Chains A and B, each alone.
Chain A
Amino acid sequence: MDGKLDWLAAGLPTEGTNAERPRAADVARADVPTCRLDEQVERVRERVRAAGWDACVVVNDERVVLGLLRQEELERPEGRIEQVMRPGPSTFRPHVAIQDLAHFMVAHDLPTSPITSSDGRLIGVLRREDAIHVAHQQHASEREREHDAARHDPRLGGGEQG
């Protein structure tokens, strides 16, 4: 094994304080539509919309990510996928903290990001609104825990009186 980084990047289970924090693979949607290089965009567009999505990941037979179709590419009137896709999209590993990813996706205006294993295989797609929602929930939950801890800490004026 090529170290802990390789283990984490493969999305394998871990123990420790970070294990309870949501990561990219926990929030990514595995039901994202996929297509092949040699398909026609018209057909793919129909399939993607019927599935209620506005993005599609281009993969090969081993589910290695080759490209991405977002709204803009899906609206092309015609063409083979390999001609219209966004090639080599930025992908993220499954262990990346969702709070970090939410910040990155907002800062770089990324509506969707593929999550891949260390060998480039598709795990799912993270949607920006999902990442922001979970990051906010996590932040609120951590604030609440800190608040509770302070209320019960006599050094901070909390704790049982009497």
Chain B
Amino acid sequence: MPHEIHDRRAVQALSDAGAQVVEVLPRDEFEEDHLPGAIHIPLSAIETEARRLLDPSRPVVVYCWDTA
């Protein structure tokens, strides 16, 4: 069940525990800076690529630039 996470320590803990961290920003922004170990799936491709690139048995954390 999806839910929002606002605590970056929780993101770190989930990532350390094996969660897949996904950035949905355009490629140039991902290449400049991304969270350690993040997978890049741009928002425009999320429906087609998520099943191919992500392991459905592990949690997924998705982030963009900010909450606005």
Contact = CB atoms under 8 A, between A and B. Distances in A.
Interface of A: 1-8, 10, 12-19, 95
Contacts of B37: 15
Contact of A1 (B31, B36, B38, B63): B63
Contact of A14 (B25, B33, B66): B33
B10 to A, nearest CB: 7
B48 interface: no
A3 B33 CA distance: 12
B65 to A, nearest CB: 5
A76 to B, nearest CB: 40
A16 B32 contact: yes
Among B8, B25, B32, B67, max chain A CB count under 10 A is at B8
A17 B27 CA distance: 12
B35 A4 contact: yes
Given A3-B67, A4-B23, A15 B38 contact: yes
